[in-house]
Structure 1
C-alpha cells in the first residue's frame, strides 16, 4: 500500500498496478461532495479518515453518525479509520474505556473496512473473536453503541457548548496540480571557473567536518593535564 495526503503523489503511481493507493484525509469531515468522491476514485482504491469523521464528538461524547463511510463505499472505495489506541484518553466516553467495544462499534455500527491502530494485537484479538458473525445469537455485549445515546442523558445544565459541524470534503481539498518533472541540477561555478565547495544537507561545507578531529585532540590533551 502507498498512502499519501497529496493526490498529486498518488497520481504518479496510478500506472503501477502492483500497489494499492490509499488517500488519507488529514482533517475531520462531516461529508463529501459526489464530485469529490469521483475525483478520489481516479487515483485511489481506499481512503483513510478520522474517527470523528464517522462518529462526531463533543467533549468526548458521541453526538451522531455521518454518512461518510457508506457514501465512499458506494463508490467502491474501502474505508479505513485512524487512530485506535488502548488508552482511555483516546476513546469517547460512550465506549466505557473498552478498546474492544470501540473497535466493534466502528466495524458493526460504522461499517468500516479496517482500522489504523497503535495496538495491532488488540485489533487482531477482536478479529478472532468467536462472538462475531453469529446473527441473532450475538451476545448483547457485542452490540455496538448507539451514537448520541449517552450524550442525550446529559442534563441541560451540564451540556457542553454546541460545536460547529465538521466541513464537507470538496474538490478544492483534493484536486492538486501534477508534480513537476524531475530535473538534473548542474553544479554551480564561481566567476574564476572553479567549482563551488560541496554542501552538506545542513548547508555547511563538508570540509568543516574535518575541524572536529583537531578540536577533539586538543580537548583530550587538556583533559590529560588534569
Structure 2
C-alpha cells in the first residue's frame, strides 16, 4: 500500500503502480459530503480515518457514532481506522480498558475493514477468534459496546462541558494543486580553481581512513604490556 494525506502525491502515483493507494485523513471528521467522497475515490481505493471519526467522544466517553464508515464503504472505499493500542489511556471508558473489546466494537459495531495498530499481536489474536464466524450464535460477550451507553448514565451535575462536533471533510481539504516539476540541479562553479573532492552517491564526501597502522600499534603496545 502507498498511503498519503496529500492528494497530489496519490495523483502522481495513480496509474503508475500496482500498489493499493490509500488516502489518509489527518483530522477528526464528523462526516463527508458526496463530492468529497468522489474526489477521494478518484485518487485511492481505501481511506484511513481516526477512531474519533467513527465514535466521537467527550471526556473519554463515547457520545455516539457517525455515518462516515458506511458512506465511504457505499462508494466502494475500504475504511481503515487508526491508531489502536493496548494502553488503557488510549481507549474510551466504554471499552473497560480491554483492547480486544475496542477492536471488536469497531469491527462488528462500526463495520470497518481493518485497523492500524501499535500491537499487531493483539489484532492478530482477535482475527483468529473462532467466535467471529458463528453467525447468530455469537456469544454475548462478543457483542460490541453501545456508543453513548455510559454517557447516558452520567447524571446532569457531573456531565462534562459539551464539545463542538467534528467538522465535515470538504472538497477543499482533499483537492490540492499538482506537485511542481522536478528542477534540474545546476552545477556550481569553482572560482578558486581548486579541485573539489569527489562525492559518494549519497552526496556525502568520501573520507579515506587507514586503520591498519593504528591497529598494528595497538597490538604491539598490548604485547609489550604482557
Alignment partners' CA distance in 1, 2:195 and 2:185: 14
For the aligned residue pairs, the C-alpha RMSD in angstroms reads 2.2
Give deviations 1:35-85, integer Å, cap 9, x for gaps: 110000111000000000000010100000000000000000000000000
The equivalent of 1:30 in structure 2 is: 30
Alpha-carbon shift at residue 183 of structure 1 (Å): 2.2
Q: Label 1:184 to 1:97 Cα distance change in 2 as closer, same or farther (>3 A).
A: same
Alignment partners' CA distance in 2, 1:73 and 1:16: 25
TM-score (structure 1 length as normaliser)? 0.85
Alignment partners' CA distance in 1, 2:198 and 2:178: 31
Is contact 1:188-1:196 (8 Å) kept? no
SS in 1 for 2:131: coil
Alpha-carbon shift at residue 184 of structure 1 (Å): 1.5
Unaligned runs of 5+ in 2: 209-226
**Residues 126-165 of structure 1: matches in 2 within 5 Å?**
126-165=126-165
TM-score (structure 2 length as normaliser)? 0.85
**Residues 7-26 of structure 1: matches in 2 within 5 Å?**
7-26=7-26
**Aligned pair count?**
205
Alpha-carbon shift at residue 189 of structure 1 (Å): 2.4
The equivalent of 1:185 in structure 2 is: 185
Q: Label 1:177 to 1:196 Cα distance change in 2 as closer, same or farther (>3 A).
A: farther
Unaligned runs of 5+ in 1: 200-204, 211-226
**Residues 48-87 of structure 1: matches in 2 within 5 Å?**
48-87=48-87
Give yes or no for the alignment of 1:113 onto 2:113: yes
Q: Label 1:85 to 1:26 Cα distance change in 2 as closer, same or farther (>3 A).
A: same
Q: Label 1:164 to 1:195 Cα distance change in 2 as closer, same or farther (>3 A).
A: farther
Alignment partners' CA distance in 2, 1:160 and 1:14: 45
Give deviations 1:179-220, integer Å, cap 9, x for gaps: 111121112326678799999xxxxx969x99xxxxxxxxxx
The equivalent of 1:90 in structure 2 is: 90
Q: Label 1:194 to 1:9 Cα distance change in 2 as closer, same or farther (>3 A).
A: farther
Alignment partners' CA distance in 1, 2:117 and 2:90: 11
